[in-house]
Chain A
Amino acid sequence: MIRYHRRRFIAGLGFAAGGAALAAIADKLVSRAYGQEPAAQKFVVFWFIGGSIQVQQGQTGWGLIPPELKGEGESGVGGAVELSGNTGFTWPKKLAPLTAIRNKVAILDNLNNQCPGASAHGSMFQATTCSPGSGLPGGPSIDQAIAQVVGKESAMSSILVGYNERSIQLNLERNVDSFAAAQGSPIPHTTSVPLLLRELFGTGVSAGGKPPSPKPIMDSLRLDIKRLEGRLATEERGALQDYLRLVEQFEAQQAARAKLDCGLAPSFPAGSPEEMATAMTQALTLAFQCGISKVAGIAIGTGGDHEDMPAYSATTGERIFDGHSFEFDYSRQGGLIQTFHMSLIAEMHKALGDALVSVYTCDSGMAPMEGDAGAVFTHHATNYRVPAIVVGDWGGALKTGGRYLRYGAKVAYDHTNGVGNNQSLADLFLTIAHGMGAPLATFGGPEQVVPTTGPLKELLA
């Protein structure tokens, strides 16, 4: 039974809105609270970011390709490459906030988004679940595929958060564009900080109190569902199966929640996009520490178009970043935004230590805006030179080790050719799943199974 008095913890840290106090002493306190070392816990956060991660922006220096490799297969053609160790290459400017934990980071390059029929602009479900492009997910997003295995006994199987330009402008509480429970089953992520805090730390009905037993309601629902089964066609009964599954899941989660004492909802400023992102990651950190969940997904700037990347005027001092501009400065602005994200990741890792692994990818095309032969950027993304950043190693379960891993490519990257990279983004996803204790064999849905070769042996210990 976990007793975690978060209010005392926060008070003891002198917690302020910025959350920077969740620093070096956090691990120690968490250990004391749980009575165990952090490495025994495992948490994972998937970052799906609209826009792009620039692999190669030599001129502005915001890319991920180490300068030591310039001129050698910039387009990724040819051999697989590994630059290993935390001093073996120039650390990318974009990842500056991770410098202190560089030995826990791996940069993966040249992954391929091998979804059948994948779109160059594969955003949203097309990127995270291999959607066939019909606007519906082709299968569970990787966070859900893992949560459905490891989150069964948690108060929340996963925590999904994020925002985009639209959710900010319209003051939406939820978006539906990135995460899915199964084929054809999109699920929303929370885009409102107050709602997130309510979900995690307060019911909104009896804040801080324990909810009444739901058993009579759940039993009644079971009868409703059974009665309806005879009225629906076979295929439509899936909706009822979902309902039933949710009933059972809710009961289990209520039981798990009853064992926690996470206290009342904290208060975070959440006016600007930076504040929202900071608040969300702080809330996730607290939720992990309290034991509410083990899996999280963050979708920032996702949505139907590049224009969904929100403004970061405070961070960049620039006009609103639209994500689809032809301007030369696009990559620099994008780089600044992603560096800001790295700072948030660094803070989470400070608080959660070896227990946390963060996986940072982009969803808009799951690909970089990449030029050939050293051009700064091109108009359209591709899906066969996908980078990813993995931070953390679960106390050695992953072999991140400050490495740059570039997988080989068969053909040059140009206008008319391009397929043939050896490693799929899904292989990375499976690696993380295995590391988290969800040894999935495949990724995708029954009609959208992604070709994979299995977990990356060079990453999984």
Chain B
Amino acid sequence: MTRLESLASCFQGLIPATLFTCSRAGVPNAAFISHVEFVDGGRVALSFQFFNKSKANISENPNALVRLVDPDTSQGWRLRLRYLRSETSGPVFDRMALRIEAIASYSGLKGIFKLLASDIYEVLSVEMIED
């Protein structure tokens, strides 16, 4: 499997990622997300900013897929994920809160973007996107 560490450019947040989830009833959901945080060689964190369908789906079905783009090479990557837990404090949360604040500031969404939790996911696979 491609090492997560080698995708450092993808985690800069220059090009938004896409999060795909699915409800227990089998309804898929797709959402653009502002940031994917590298945690360690086997985990990433996604920002939880609003109570939305993605969050509801993950609470009942932990399977998720994230598509990332490396802004340096244009190569896309597909991460298959499994939700582990949410953190509302600690170093990962603090790093993400700062990043979200910066994104909100330059995208004119200050006061709307606010980190509520860092959702921690196990990375099951890393796949190169075909197109």
A and B from one complex? no
Enumerate chain A interface residues (CB-CB to B < 8 A): none
Interface positions of B (Cβ within 8 A of A): none
